[in-house]
Amino acid sequence: FRTFCTIDTYGRLNVVSSTQIVFHCRRIISNALHIPKTMIRVSKPRIGGGFGAKQTSVSEVYPAYVTWMTKKPSKIIFSREESMIASTPRHEMEIHVRVGADKNGIVNGIDMYTLSNTGAYGEHGPTTVGLSGHKSIPLYGKAKAFRFVSDVVYTNHMSAGAYRGYGATQGLFAVESAVNELAAKRHMDPFEVREKNIVREGDVMPVYYGQVNTSCALDRCLTRVKEMIGWEEKYPVRDMGNGKVRAVGMGMAMQGSGITSVDVGSATIKVNDDGFYTLAIGAADMGTGCDTILAQIAAEVLDCSIDEITVFGADTDTSPYDSGSYASSTTYVTGKAVEQCALKIREQICKLGAGLLKCPENEVVFDGKSVRREGAGQDFAGQVSLTDIATASMCGNEIALEATVTNSSPLSPPPFMVGAAEVEVDLETGEAKVINYAAAVDCGTPVNPNLARVQAEGGILQGIGMTLTENITYSKKGKLAENSLMQYKIPTRIDIGHICVEFESSYEDAGPFGAKSIGEVVINTPLPAVSDAIFNATGTRFYELPITPEKIAMAVAEREKEQA
């Protein structure tokens, strides 16, 4: 986290920060310092990852106060230790799940209770806990009854906040693990249980706010992953003959695409000299590639190269209002605003072009390079270039080559994902290593498959870290032990084997060019998949994460003792 502040020529407070939420940040600073929003400007430069941690004003208020009081520049840069002990981690949750099914494996009822630890403050307390149920139970479309109850408690731990998955991750670990346990007790293949129960396209999802499942390729994701991992040959476990065994496990996940009827995305597009475009957005690119994706959407509509679009992002003075980059909303919510805005700009270009050609607007077409009368062909007298239109707009003109569109969606179409893990367990030392991870994602129609694949691979790696190595321990006084990357062990690319991600595309009518979100859903499947693989390898089911080598070794020893 880092922020620096200055006072500009007009006496206003300028705040430059690594944040996902420039407009919320301005509101928070205004409330904290008791100064009007008109006296505050917040902007985001190019920043690294956010993953939800920068969805809270962790660092901005302190230098803002110093600069406002002294009228001198100030900055704050959190050290690694400060970032880990004074920021906003994921909510610790204890979840109780009961799953009822008939003899054929049809899940008829799900009963879920979540107890969430919000830490010392309740900033994200009431919202995060809801996702643990609302984005896990709806996967099972044949359930006739469900109950979801939750409580949130304050403790002397660090104040919890947003982190990729935002409560759905914890809920999906619990529900998917319970269904895997059900499959084991019924002596059924976990894939078979899912195939019988999954929600399908067109189904109403009562737990998911009563929404209709408008686009869904979950069934195809199941089939694809089963083939990718070689499930039939590997399930449940194989003895490697050297004290090690290899086992497989799987899990499903869903998320959302923005917050229904709440999140707002906006875009402004302007035609500049020589006919290139400026795209102004309030969404924050934090390594997700949203600047590229939103430019691609605009370029697709405007029939131009992405190089002809300059993206200007996240500045409260110049950007149109955007609630921020969180809740997997940017491509779906802001992307749709960009698409609609680009269509408006096409209309404005055609309107001015028709005026120059002295013909009605409905007689011209725009091909990205020029406006021409229909039927004019290559007749240069019947067309005018975009460069000439941009130049003409500077003199004696009343048509603005600029447009702004704001979008908010009454739907939050969920992306879906299926993941399967092949895990090698050393039964003597308890070491568990992910050898292969196969995943199939339904994020609608991906706008940029390469960026989507990188998102998925990164999320899977984070999920594996949550399952096997990343641990948090507090003293009785609330002091965090893991205050560096020596103690808090995040996996790197060399710590796991092969990750393979494929896409099973659906088409979401409400999204830009059929797209849904992908940012958060990708972290959710490794938790149940890896833990179920460890169960298949050891015969012991673990209900608490992370599943460390010590826990596995002790469980194996205990099991051998019982069998003896």
Q: Which of 117-131, 372-386, 464-478, 479-493 has the lowest mean pLDDT?
A: 372-386
- Give the closest residue to 107 by CA, choosing from 12, 182, 22, 1: 182
Give the model's pLDDT for residue 207. 94
pLDDT tens for 39-86 read: 999 999 988 888 888 888 999 999 999 999 999 999 999 999 999 999
| pLDDT confidence band for 378 (50 / 70 / 90) | low
Find, among 169, 89, 112, the residue nearest to 525 by Cα. 169
Which pLDDT score, from 0 to 100, does residue 521 have?
97
User: pTM of the full predicted structure?
Assistant: 0.94
- pLDDT higher than 80, residue 379: no
- Peptide bond before residue 190 is cis, with ω within 30 degrees of 0: no
Contacts of 400 (CB under 8 A, 6+ apart): 348
* Residue pLDDT, tens place only, 420-443: 999 999 999 999 999 999 999 999
Interstrand relation of 145-154 and 107-119 (parallel, antiparallel or unpaired): parallel
Contact status, residue 332 vs residue 323, Cβ threshold 8 Å: no
Backbone dihedral angles phi then psi of residue 196, each to the nearest 5 degrees: -80, -20
Nearest alpha carbon to residue 321 among 262, 261, 285, 268: 268
User: How would residue 123 be classed by pLDDT, with cut points 50, 70 and 90?
Assistant: confident
Contact indicator for 472, 89 with CB cutoff of 8 Å = yes
What is the pLDDT averaged over residues 347-366?
A: 93
Q: Pick from 536, 433, 538, 542: which is nearest to 491 by CA?
A: 433
**What is the per-residue pLDDT for 457?**
96
Q: Looking at residue 261, what is its pLDDT?
A: 92
Residue 359 pLDDT greater than 80, yes or no: yes
Lowest mean pLDDT among 91-95, 120-124, 180-184: 120-124
Residue 377, pLDDT > 80, answer no
Q: What percent of the chain has pLDDT over 70?
A: 99
pLDDT at 374: 83
Decide if pLDDT at 366 tops 90: yes
Q: What is the pLDDT of residue 274?
A: 87
**Residue-level pLDDT at 143:** 94
pLDDT at 48: 81
What average pLDDT does the structure give for the chain? Answer: 95
CA distance 190 to 27: 48
Amino acid present at 321: Y
DSSP 205-231: ETTTTTEE--S--HHHHHHHHHHHHTH
Neighbours of 386 (CB within 10 A): 25
What was the pLDDT predicted at 380?
Answer: 58
Q: How far apart are the two ends of the chain, measured CA to CA in Å? A: 54
Nearest to 52 by CA among 399, 449, 328, 253: 328
Residues 162-172 have a mean pLDDT of: 96
pLDDT at 376 over 70: no
Residue 180 has pLDDT above 80, yes or no: yes
- Per-residue pLDDT band at 292 (split at 50, 70, 90): very high
Mode of pairing for the β-strands spanning 13-17 and 40-43: parallel
**In the predicted structure, residue 564 carries a pLDDT above the cut 80:** no
Q: What is the largest CA-CA distance in the chain?
A: 95
Helix (H, G, I), strand (E, B) or coil at 405: strand
**pLDDT above 90 (res 324):** no
Q: State pLDDT tens for residues 510-548.
A: 999 999 999 999 999 999 999 999 999 999 999 999 999
The answer to whether residues 218 and 442 touch, using CB atoms and an 8 Å cutoff, is yes
**CA-CA distance, 194 to 451, in Å (whole number)?**
29
What pLDDT is recorded for position 288? 87
The token pair that represents 395 in the structure block: 């003199």
Counting beta carbons within 10 angstroms of the beta carbon of residue 293, is it exposed (0 to 12), middle (13 to 18) or buried (19 or more)?
A: buried
Pairing of strands 402-407, 74-77: unpaired
Burial class (CB in 10 A: 0-12, 13-18, 19+), 362: exposed
Task: Give pLDDT, residue 493.
Answer: 81
pLDDT, position 510: 96
Whether the upstream peptide bond of residue 45 has omega within 30° of 0, thus cis, is no
Tracing tokens 């290593």 back to the chain, one arrives at: 433
Contact (CB, 8 A) for 421 and 437: yes
Residues contacting 479, CB < 8 A, separation 6+: none
Asked if residue 201 has pLDDT above 80, the reply is yes
